[in-house]
Amino acid sequence: MTTNSRAVAVPVPGTRVDDEPVLTPAQRRRRRRDAPAGSHRRGRKVLGYAGITVTFLAVALPLYFIVITSLKTHPDIYANPITWWPTVFAPENYGYVMREVRFDRYLRNSVIITAVLTVVQVVLGVLCAYAFAFLRFPGRNLLFLLVLASLMVPNQITIISNYALVAGWGWRNTFQGIIVPLAGVAFGAFLMRNHFLSLPKEILEAAEIDGTGFLRTLFRVVLPLSWPTLVAFILITVVTEWNQYLWPFLISDTDAVAPLPIGLTQLQDNEGLTNWGPVMAGTVLTTLPMLIVFLLLQKHMIKGLTAGAVKG
């Protein structure tokens, strides 16, 4: 009895059978192991996009509401339910702010206070950080800890003593009475010192070998390498001082020295009621300069805040 047998071809890994690749056992195990990881990555990506969306809405909706309310009439503002688009646009709210609050005077005061405080804090902060980073003197670490400790003290705690001191010097309702107590350098010293310590020591040693002086090294070597962090420091300082309210409110008695946040309080009537249309218009006008500055320098700020976060 004769049987015809036909040889069966064994698939060889690396070839294709029916347009499907032939995998080795190790490749099959790896594919099974990586399949759940791919789904986890997709899940993390979805959660990431969801978090970004929620964060965007949390930031954008209040800004949108402020801008839209600044263009609403009084009945629209108090309509129930809230309307997200004005039935009648009221740009006269902006004219009311410019006319009734002496916006130009408060704007001038804000520019003066912010500019002087920014220059003072940046100059003193950079010099202080440079000394803490590169000078060797007894008690340096203890002194730096004291500087850091001052960051832990809320400004509200020192208001009474600062007020008594400023009033005793006769500085009430003056620019120096507002500026001097706010001219602290603790944050700038902390931020810039940490960045200075991350700079390559070889560059500083080369500058020292070339005979570059201490201050010349700062301006010719250290600061050019620290530009992103310095811009971030400047922007943070500008925004912080532009928005100062409590201390200028206590010291300023007239619009001769009061900044914009104080001027917005003039939009309340004698009974303490708030005219929200002009208030929101004033808020938009007050925020606009800082928004423009941030949009122009945001790349430098982000680069400066993330400097040193990634090695290499």
Q: For 95-153, what is each residue's pLDDT tens digit?
A: 888 888 888 899 999 999 999 999 999 999 999 999 998 888 888 889 999 988 988 88
Quick: pLDDT tens for 33-47: 655 555 667 778 888
DSSP designation for 80: S
CB contact set of 111 (below 8 Å; sequence gap of 6+):
none
Q: In angstroms, rounded to a whole number, what is the distance separating the alpha carbons of residues 299 and 312? A: 20
Would residue 249 count as lying in a domain?
Answer: yes
* Whether residue 31 has pLDDT greater than 80: no
Asked if residue 71 is part of any domain, the answer here is: no
Range of 198's domain? 96-305
Residue 152 resides in a domain = yes
Mean pLDDT of 11-15: 55
Which tokens in the block code for residue 134?
């590169």
What's the rounded mean pLDDT across residues 253-279?
Answer: 82
The total domain count for the chain is: 1
CA 209 to chain CA centroid, Å, is: 38
Residue 233: give its domain's CATH number: 1.10.3720.10
The pLDDT value given to residue 251: 93
Burial, 251: exposed, middle or buried (Cβ in 10 Å; 0-12, 13-18, 19+)? buried
CA 276 to chain centre: 27
On whether residue 136 sits in a domain, the answer given is yes
H and E: helices and strands count for the chain = 15, 2
- Burial label, 133 (beta-carbon count in 10 A; 0-12, 13-18, 19+): buried
Condensed to tens digits (0 to 9), the pLDDT of residues 67-84 reads: 999 999 888 888 888 888
Q: Is residue 218 part of a domain?
A: yes
Cβ–Cβ < 8 Å for 147, 191: no
CA nearest 189: which of 150, 220, 228? 150
Asked, for residue 37, whether it belongs to a domain, the answer is: no
In this prediction, what percent of the chain has a pLDDT beyond 90?
A: 37
According to DSSP, the residues that pair with 274 across neighbouring strands are 268
The answer, yes or no, to whether residue 19 has pLDDT greater than 60, is: no
Q: What is the DSSP letter of 268?
A: B
191 inside domain: yes
Reference 284, options 103, 108, 84, 111; nearest CA is: 103
Distance between CA 290 and CA 119 in Å, rounded?
Answer: 17
> Given this model, what pLDDT does residue 123 score?
94
Domain membership of residue 27 (yes or no) is no
